[in-house]
Structure 1
Amino acid sequence: MPFAKLPFANHKSLIVLALTYWLYFGQLGVLVPYLGIFLDGRGFSSAEIGELFAVITLARILGPGIWAGIADKKGNAVSVLRLGSFLTVATFCSVFLFEGFWGLTLSFGLMMMFWTAVLPQLEVITMKSVEGTKASYGLIRLWGSIGFICLTVGVGKALDSFSTETPVIASVGVLLLLFVTTLFIQAPKASAEKHTAVGSIWQYAKQRPFVVFIFASICLQISFGAYYGFFALYMRDLGYSGQQTGLFIALGVLVEVGIFLIASRLTARFGVWNLLFASLLLTALRWYALASAADSMAVILLSQVIHALSFGLTHAVSVHFIHQFLPPAFHSRGQAIYISVAFGFGGAFGNYMAGQQWDQGANAYETFATAAVFSAIGAASLFFCKRKHLM
């Protein structure tokens, strides 16, 4: 067990954090790959699916900043994390009350608004908890990938036997367990050095390294619109079963586990700029491979291996960059800007654009080729910032 040599208190605290990551990303493994299938089962068109994805993703723009501002000012990230988890499961249950587009949009939008309180606080708590220990952020975060794998495969298999309502039913159980787990999270001990916010976070956010980093992250998330919204439907149209689709998605996350174990060493060795550039470029190749040769299982498997870089490595180095570039007093708000702007705006635009292009699968090539273009633009944008400024 990787935590075995830590003191008992730290041991217990880090295990609870690992379990929280397991459930948080496990929930993403339940809903994100299969939300399109759920909505398709409710009779939504591909354009409506893309629009709903876009609308609910917009909640990620406002939510993180509001919650992170509260957490930074009150200095109580744990309470914000718990409140967000509780309100997430409470509002998500309203999915069962609505059938139409706007009713479901309201349900998922409210759920997403409160959901955005969870990850930025969890990242900050984890980074502070591993300081001064033999553990690392990647060691804790990898359990999120394991949770994603377990629940993606499980729900994919269940879809072969049960209705398209399965993802939302499973989500309620996972979200409830997530809230219960947050009740056992302990706030990390405060540093002996008191961190006081001086000035505004925008004096840092407007600097070129941060602007370039955010722009590249936006491009990456735009490119993920096709994958998040339509990969499962794409695989179904190509004749793959729900279990096979779950295994494809799980493979992508499985390779993340290995990346998270070595992410800290890779970052120290190659730096943020080099790792982001390589990941964005290979992600562009990944999307184009899916666009042009997805009828080959070998191509699908290879593209899923690249997911370790597309998501795993880019996320790990992004968290590292924010933690190093911003003063401690702005860590929560820095994570919030990253999540709200990159995942919120970028994700919403990517989902909407993919939905407009998809046309019930008739334009699969064009949709994934467009995703490849945006990822390549993100890679090229890094040349507007010197390597030494993005470390």
Structure 2
Amino acid sequence: MVKKESLTSLKLLIFHFHATNTIIISFLPLYLKFKGLTGTEIGWVLAIGPFASIISQPFWGYLSDKYKTVKRMLILSTIGMLIISVIFFQMDSLLTILILGALFFFFSSPVGALSDSLAQRQAQQLKISFGSIRMWGSVGFAFSSLVVGEILTKFGIQVIVWPYVIIGTILLIIAFTISDVKSEEESTPVNLADISMLLKNKPFIFFLLFMMFITITHRANDSFIGIYITEVGGSEGLVGIAWFVGVISEAAVFAFAGLWFRKYSPITFVIIASILYCIRWFIYGMAPSPYFIISFQVLHGVTFGIFYIAAFDYVTKLIPNLLQSTGHLIFYSVMFGVSGIIGSMAGGKMIEAFGGQIMYLGMGLFTLLGIFCLVGYQIWMKRLEVKVKTAGT
């Protein structure tokens, strides 16, 4: 049974991981620019993260299921993340930055997915909403974006390693205090052959494929909203405010998930969030000023918050308990890894060739195609359920 003390520790762990993640997402590009890298070279370094996550997240998920522990995998990956980060931030040449960057992301990328997997299990046992736990990641992101931003403004981007290591060390200490959540099926050993169960799971695979129509646009926005805001006349300060508004609204959606999430099926909420994503991209594509974009950044919380909670819960229902961590990390690697690579590359080409407005209008059309796919998927799944019920009678 999960103790309340362990739940508090997990919330603190999620808070501090996303606080460290903010430093990488928001300030690493500026640090690499300070190091003298060109825009193209910075793009290569940032692309290393999604590439590494495609390999590392299923790998760590498999180890977690095989050895029946999320806690130990979190501790090991956090230790690796901390050690490599100190070396990574000292590198100056592009080659060494790329090599150390790949190692860094190999250890850091699974921490968020493993903690979310553990949060989902604890939420199920305690009969509380997953969002009420996951919201602490959004709070950590918002807190770090303001505090670390002020520190770097005062002391310079070159001190980025210190807030990262300090927050990361607190994260490691907290990781030792969390508890694993055991399921009834966890006495069964897991081997590589069991992974084929997921690959043969057609509902799981098709959902991931159709989901990518939405997540590719989400990741493209993550990469280029800052550039787009400056393109329509904004400053770096307004970019920070836009992120803060978006993440605070995300935390609110996660916090109140228990009030709305069970009203409809998870796949219905995925479709609702996708429709809102589509509307959001078309609105951004017509933005006359940076303040217009910031005023609609509350939609970030509504779109990503609803989509992530619903998709994560739906995937949990599609995969067996025996392979929960593996399935969750495959989901994570598709949503943030594969989608990140495609979104960054395609978005970069579009914004360079046509500008931000055309990029966002294109994202709206691509999302619309994804909505049709997800609606078709929902109809297909309902027919499958009817066939199963008919066969059982």
| TM-score using structure 2 length | 0.86
Structure 2 residue 222 is matched with structure 1 residue 217: no
- Tell me the residue number matched to 1:344: 337
- Tell me the residue number matched to 1:386: 378
**Against the structure 1 CA distance between its residues 244 and 299, is the aligned structure 2 distance closer, same or farther, given a 3 Å change threshold?**
closer
Q: CA separation in 2, counterparts of 1:354 and 1:72?
A: 35
Partner SS state of residue 97, structure 1: coil
Q: Give structure 2 stretches of 5+ with no counterpart.
A: 386-393
**Against the structure 1 CA distance between its residues 136 and 272, is the aligned structure 2 distance closer, same or farther, given a 3 Å change threshold?**
closer
- C-alpha deviations, 1:333-364, integer Å up to 9, x for none? 111111122321111121223334444x9822
| TM-score using structure 1 length | 0.87
- Tell me the residue number matched to 2:144: 151
Q: CA separation in 1, counterparts of 2:374 and 2:9?
A: 37
**Against the structure 1 CA distance between its residues 291 and 52, is the aligned structure 2 distance closer, same or farther, given a 3 Å change threshold?**
farther
Q: 1:305 aligns with which of 298, 319, 332?
A: 298
Where in structure 2 are the equivalents of 1:338-377 lying within 5 Å? 338-359=331-352, 363-377=355-369
- Tell me the residue number matched to 2:388: none
- Tell me the residue number matched to 1:55: 48
Asked if the contact 1:64–1:337 (Cα under 8 Å) also holds between the matched residues in 2, the reply is: yes
**Offset at residue 63 of structure 1 (A):** 0.4
Q: CA separation in 2, counterparts of 1:219 and 1:49?
A: 26
Partner SS state of residue 117, structure 1: helix
Structure 2 residue 242 is matched with structure 1 residue 248: yes
**Against the structure 1 CA distance between its residues 291 and 13, is the aligned structure 2 distance closer, same or farther, given a 3 Å change threshold?**
same
- After superposing the two structures, state which structure 1 stretch, 68-77 or 39-48, moved more: 39-48
2:117 is matched by which residue type in structure 1?
A: V
- C-alpha deviations, 1:211-246, integer Å up to 9, x for none? 232123323332134332233344345554444322
Q: CA separation in 1, counterparts of 2:162 and 2:379?
A: 46
**Offset at residue 103 of structure 1 (A):** 2.2
Q: CA separation in 2, counterparts of 1:374 and 1:274?
A: 19
Structure 2 residue 20 is matched with structure 1 residue 27: yes
Where in structure 2 are the equivalents of 1:40-79 lying within 5 Å? 40-79=33-72
Q: 1:328 aligns with which of 321, 339, 345?
A: 321
Asked if the contact 1:216–1:378 (Cα under 8 Å) also holds between the matched residues in 2, the reply is: yes
Q: CA separation in 1, counterparts of 2:40 and 2:218?
A: 17
Q: 1:274 aligns with which of 250, 268, 272?
A: 268
CA root-mean-square deviation: 2.8
Query: Which structure: greater helix fraction?
Result: 2
**Against the structure 1 CA distance between its residues 176 and 378, is the aligned structure 2 distance closer, same or farther, given a 3 Å change threshold?**
farther
Q: CA separation in 2, counterparts of 1:161 and 1:228?
A: 26
Where in structure 2 are the equivalents of 1:18-167 lying within 5 Å? 18-133=11-126, 135-165=128-158, 167=160
The share of aligned pairs that are identical, in percent, is 22
Structure 2 residue 287 is matched with structure 1 residue 293: yes
- C-alpha deviations, 1:87-124, integer Å up to 9, x for none? 01111112232223332222222111111332332223
Q: CA separation in 1, counterparts of 2:288 and 2:152?
A: 22
**Against the structure 1 CA distance between its residues 354 and 166, is the aligned structure 2 distance closer, same or farther, given a 3 Å change threshold?**
farther
**Offset at residue 29 of structure 1 (A):** 2.0
1:301 is matched by which residue type in structure 2?
A: S
Structure 2 residue 194 is matched with structure 1 residue 200: yes
Partner SS state of residue 286, structure 2: helix
- Tell me the residue number matched to 1:177: 170
1:67 is matched by which residue type in structure 2?
A: W
**Offset at residue 255 of structure 1 (A):** 1.2
Q: CA separation in 1, counterparts of 2:262 and 2:274?
A: 19
- After superposing the two structures, state which structure 1 stretch, 20-29 or 373-382, moved more: 373-382
2:310 is matched by which residue type in structure 1?
A: V
**Offset at residue 372 of structure 1 (A):** 3.0
- C-alpha deviations, 1:43-69, integer Å up to 9, x for none? 444333333222331001010111111
Partner SS state of residue 186, structure 1: coil
- Tell me the residue number matched to 1:3: none
**Offset at residue 70 of structure 1 (A):** 0.9
1:277 is matched by which residue type in structure 2?
A: I
Partner SS state of residue 289, structure 2: coil
- After superposing the two structures, state which structure 1 stretch, 102-111 or 228-237, moved more: 228-237
Q: CA separation in 1, counterparts of 2:164 and 2:362?
A: 31
Q: CA separation in 2, counterparts of 1:56 and 1:351?
A: 11
- Tell me the residue number matched to 2:391: none
Q: Give structure 1 stretches of 5+ with no counterpart.
A: 1-6
- Tell me the residue number matched to 1:10: 3
Q: CA separation in 1, counterparts of 2:231 and 2:37?
A: 16
Asked if the contact 1:72–1:332 (Cα under 8 Å) also holds between the matched residues in 2, the reply is: yes
- After superposing the two structures, state which structure 1 stretch, 115-124 or 72-81, moved more: 115-124
Q: CA separation in 2, counterparts of 1:225 and 1:59?
A: 16
Asked if the contact 2:267–2:314 (Cα under 8 Å) also holds between the matched residues in 1, the reply is: no
